Amino acid sequence: MVAIQVRNVTKVFQAGRSEEVRALNGVSFDLADGQALALVGPSGSGKSTLLHLVAALETPSSGTVEVNGTDVGALKGKALSDYRRRLGFVFQRFNLIPTLNALDNVLAPVIPFRTTFDKQARGRELLAAVGLDARASTPPTRLSGGQQQRVAIARALINHPTLVLADEPTGALDSVTGAEVMELLGELRIALGMTLIVATHDYAIASRCDRIISLKDGVIVADDDLAPPADPMLTQARIGSLKGGD
């Protein structure tokens, strides 16, 4: 089943009064439900722009981005807010709130809203799944970079997303810690049946996905399927009841 359809997408940014920057130029691809896709390329290749279009943080200048049959570039108002809330987004710089502890950072996206699940229980299950159940009361300033990104991953999963987007999720980490974080994200993706798109310049990180699209100057220059990912290593105890509906 196709989860995402990108059709002939172009994105042009205005740079000054007369100059335009063409970040994407006629990009098209399909992404199957449950697949892990890496977008790779140097800075300025268009990978982050493409990720932002899927997240509906930007709209295409032309072309369409459909997620589960919905043209996300056409969403407005409440429909747009609801779509963004259903996504999981992992940032390079973690974007944790320093005055909140780890658990409250995980809960931050749902605190203002009514949910059909127990927020506290869900947050603690997610911290356990990323191996930080003992650090629930710890503020981000007392966590390592890898631990902060694990909190950020748990936060991204709080609303039971079926689609997770990660923009350079290991860019602020050393290579060993980055590999561990990417392995965890991949395990959670498989265990919970999510679709994952990762924007990265690091081919070692990209190789942990099962497909790589390479971008250069806003166009796709390669689209490679990799070997199927290994079975998830997370134990059922760590996954807990994360598969529960929302």
The values of phi and psi at residue 198, to 5°, are -120, 125
Digit-coded pLDDT (tens) for 225-241: 986 555 555 544 455 55
Mean per-residue pLDDT for 60-85? Answer: 95
Is residue 246 scored above 50 in pLDDT? no
pLDDT score for 233: 53
Digit-coded pLDDT (tens) for 120-159: 999 999 999 999 999 999 999 999 999 999 999 999 999 9
Residue reference for tokens 């191996």: 131
Domains of the chain: 33-59+74-239 (3.40.50.300)
135 vs 29: CA distance, rounded Å: 41
Residue 99 banded pLDDT, cuts 50, 70, 90:
very high
Specify which residues 198 forms β-bridges with: 38, 166
Is residue 118 scored above 80 in pLDDT? yes
2 vs 15: CA distance, rounded Å: 35
Is residue 69 scored above 90 in pLDDT? yes
Check residue 179 and give left, alpha or beta (phi > 0: left; psi -120 to 50: alpha): alpha
Mean per-residue pLDDT for 183-189? Answer: 90
Mean per-residue pLDDT for 212-236? Answer: 78
Mean per-residue pLDDT for 69-92? Answer: 93
pLDDT score for 67: 96
What the block records as the tokens of 228 is 């199927």
C-alpha distances in angstroms, 26 versus 11, 61, 70, 225? 9, 10, 20, 21
What 51-56 contacts at long range (C-beta under 8 Å, 24+ apart), as own/partner pairs, is: 51/165, 51/167, 51/197, 51/199, 53/6, 53/9, 53/11, 53/24, 54/4, 54/6, 54/163, 54/165, 54/197, 55/84, 55/87, 55/89, 55/165, 56/80, 56/83, 56/84
pLDDT score for 226: 83
pLDDT score for 30: 96
| Residue % of the chain over a pLDDT of 70 | 91
Kindly report the average pLDDT of the chain as a whole number.
Answer: 89
Digit-coded pLDDT (tens) for 188-206: 998 888 999 999 988 888 9
CB-based contact 159:110 (threshold 8 Å): yes
What 226-235 contacts at long range (C-beta under 8 Å, 24+ apart), as own/partner pairs, is: 229/36, 229/186, 229/190, 231/190, 232/187, 232/188, 232/190, 232/191, 233/183, 233/187, 234/129, 234/187, 234/188, 234/191
C-alpha distances in angstroms, 113 versus 110, 119, 127, 192, 198? 5, 10, 20, 23, 28
CB atoms within 10 A of CB 35: 20
pLDDT score for 59: 96
The count of residues in the chain is 246
Mean per-residue pLDDT for 72-98? Answer: 92
Digit-coded pLDDT (tens) for 37-49: 999 999 899 999 9
Higher pLDDT, 229 or 106: 106
pLDDT score for 242: 59
